Amino acid sequence: MAAEDDYRCDLCSTVRKQRDMTLVSPELFKEAVRAGLRPQQSVSAGMVSERDFQADWVAKALTDDTGWGLCQGCTSRVQGYLANDGTWSVQ
């Protein structure tokens, strides 16, 4: 069980201290998903095909209207999918 100040990254599920997480707005996360962001590996454990898992994940990510708590590595991944036009911001 994680300590109270620990937080699980919404993209890769690694556990980090909450203070080390970045909250990304749903709009920016959706923009990154539309640009091709996908989870690095499926957690489906063979229950569905990787293709179906990815399609389901994209559909859920594009309809989720909450912020995404991300570790530093995933924050960098998301930034890499966003246009470098000054729109990157975190909450």
Residue 68 placed within a domain: yes
Residue 59 placed within a domain: yes
Residue 89 placed within a domain: no
Residue 87 placed within a domain: no
Number of structural domains the chain divides into: 1
| Residues 41-63: tens digit of each pLDDT | 655 556 778 888 899 999 999 99
Residue 14 placed within a domain: yes
pLDDT at 91: 47
Task: Say yes or no to pLDDT of 4 above 70.
Answer: no
Sign for the CA dihedral angle at 41, 43, 45, 50 comes to negative
Three-state DSSP at 19 gives helix
Task: Say yes or no to pLDDT of 17 above 90.
Answer: yes
Boundaries of domain holding 72: 6-81
CA–CA distance, 41 with 21 (Å, rounded to integer): 20
